[in-house]
Structure 1
Amino acid sequence: MIKHQLLTAALLLTAAASPAQSSSSWNNKQCAVVLTYDDAIDVDLDNVVPALDSFKLRGTFYLIGSSPVVARRLPEWRSAAQRGHELGNHALMHPCDGSLPGRGFVTPDNDLSKYTVSRAVSEVRANNVLLSAIDGKTARTFAYPCGDLTIGGVRFYDQLQNDFVAARGVRAGLQTAPQVDLTNINSYMINGQSGDYLIDLVKQAEKSHTLLVFLFHGVGGGHALNVDLQAHRQLLRYLKNHEKDIWVAPMVEVAANIKAAQPGVPATPLR
């Protein structure tokens, strides 16, 4: 009960933080929802893109440049970008900090704790070159592999801020536009939750005039972190049915809107 009361109070405080200002940042709607999909896996193209296209919704796909699914299905990724989906940068090799607990899956070659900052930056920039060759765009966003921000205590993204509109992290939370940290945007990682849970998050965002970012991996299989196809489709149907109140757009567009509203920060041309 106490936990529920604290959550309600937090949402009310967030809603009180300039709803008109947030509404203008959300394309004059009540809230913004960004659908992000990590790791460049087959189900992105087999399940997710067709589902999004069927509802005329657009998402952000964070691609690992070294993924065989990128190499094998380049024309399909290019076609998805041409239909308005964002191809985001999830690093060339998806390095994660293997020194942290529970990171037995990290190989020595891809252990971020053994990287130098310059190596991490170079690999991310190399992936940008690859992505630009696929979609012809220069404006895009980044997603931290495993949500890891630092190498030896140094935030490597500090050297990449001019390369991206924004970066997405893995910390959960709803935020109004002025509260959003464009170097580490909040997101809700989804793994097995129901369609009702997903829709309830959207309803909270509507009430509090905030940004809601979903972080998906597998959709209908294909990854250890997974959401049921029906639950995902239930979410898309709700978003489509309430599109007069909810702005659903790729991360690069939403982040550019937030950035444009920040004083002293030049707008980023979306090309």
Structure 2
Amino acid sequence: MKLLTSFTLLATLLCTSPACAQPARWNNKQCAVVLTYDDAIDVDLDNVVPALDSVQLRGTFYLIGYSPAVTRRISEWRAAARRGHELGNHALFHPCDGSLPGRSFVSPDHDLSKYTVGRAVDEIRANNTLLAAIDGKTTRTFAYPCGDRTIGGVQFYDQLKNDFVAARGVSPGLQTAAQVDLANIDSYMINGEPGQYLIDLVKQAQASHTLLVFLFHGVGGGHGLNVSLPAHRQLLRYLKAHEKEIWVAPMVEVAESIRAEQRGAPKK
């Protein structure tokens, strides 16, 4: 074992190929992992924030402005932001395209297929104003409600690129910094998978030196899409145990690093 470890260390020191240099792109670590939590629900503050704080990891919480868990608990969100968690934008009313199959849950008032692009943009910008009032920040990322990106065939985020560093989508995938589309960052939506599945995804990102974004809703309940508390805890423990190899940071920080690399700035 000692001989194998020494050989691996020597190979790392001597390797000068682009593939060997890849880890330096993720804050000098093997990969980047972003933990995102959607919909601004009570379990974010009751379960997730304490769990992340207990292992000194930071996440991104995509907030819906009109959510009761926002209006009733602003001081707690503000405190979470002070501890380094990102408050991301998930639109003011979470409009989704009700014309698509399986969308009976979409209310007529918040049916994206009935929106104009201008209305969608205005509501998202209004949510930015609310978020800035909570955390005092002007730099953040956006997440598409239901993953819907178009209104009448028009991609509404095109009008918002100067308002955000990046936008997170819902398509699964591991990508290098060069492959990432900052207008639609891939993510793995988690719903009932065990902790080992989550860890295996991280290991794949480590091996391929890529970005891995988790998309959570309920954690220990609170939403129809859910991950158990033990599975979530298992993931956090793995990330903490390997923090020297894995860069875990809010989406806004990782996206800023990717944007800088894609523009040719010094790699991070």
* Bigger radius of gyration among the two: 2
For normalisation by structure 1, the TM-score amounts to: 0.90
Shift of 1:262: 1.2
1:27 aligns with 2:8: no
Give the corresponding residue for 2:7: none
After TM superposition, give the deviation of residue 23 of structure 1 in Å: 2.1
Whole-angstrom distance in 2 between the partners of 1:131 and 1:22: 35
Distance in 2, matches of 1:182 and 1:18, equals: 23
Equivalence for 1:59: 59
**Whole-angstrom CA distance in 1 between matches of 2:18 and 2:180:** 14
State whether residues 142 and 166 of structure 1, in contact with CA within 8 Å, keep that contact through their aligned partners in structure 2. yes
Correspondence for 1:11: none
Q: Identify the residue that residue 176 of structure 2 maps to in structure 1.
A: 176
* Alpha-carbon distance between aligned partners in 2 of 1:91 and 1:192, rounded to the nearest angstrom: 26
Identity among equivalent pairs (%):
79
Tell whether 2:225 aligns with 1:187. Answer: no
Gaps of 5+ in 2: 1-16
Q: Structure 2 CA distance, aligned partners of 1:18 and 1:211?
A: 17
* Aligned ranges 1:114-133 → 2 under 5 Å: 114-133=114-133
Task: State the Cα distance separating 1:154 from its structure 2 match.
Answer: 0.1
2:252 matched to which residue of 1? Answer: 252
- Residue 184 of structure 2 aligns to a residue whose secondary structure is coil
Partner of residue 113, structure 2: 113
Counterparts of 2:123 and 2:21 in 1: how far apart (Å)? 37
The 1:264/1:75 distance shift into structure 2, 3 A limit, reads same
Question: What is aligned with 1:217?
Answer: 217
One-letter code aligned to 1:216: F
Name the aligned partner's letter for residue 150 of structure 1. Answer: T
Written as runs of structure 1 = structure 2, the 5 A alignment for 1:1-271 is 18-20=18-20, 22-263=22-263
TM-score when scaled to structure 2? 0.91
Residues 157-208 of structure 1, C-alpha deviation per residue, up to 9 Å, x if partnerless?
A: 0000000000000000000010000000000000000000000000000000
Tell me how far 1:100 sits from its aligned partner: 0.4
- Aligned equivalents of 1:86 and 1:64: distance in 2? 14
Checking the alignment, whether the CA contact within 8 Å between 1:43 and 1:221 is kept in structure 2 is: yes
Deviation for aligned residue 1:265:
8.1
| CA-based RMSD | 1.5
C-alpha separation in 1, matches of 2:266 and 2:163: 14
C-alpha displacement of 1:223: 0.2
Cα gap change, 1:18 to 1:178, in 2 (>3 Å): farther
Aligned residue for 1:213, secondary structure, equals strand
1:10 is aligned to none
Partner SS state of residue 28, structure 1: coil
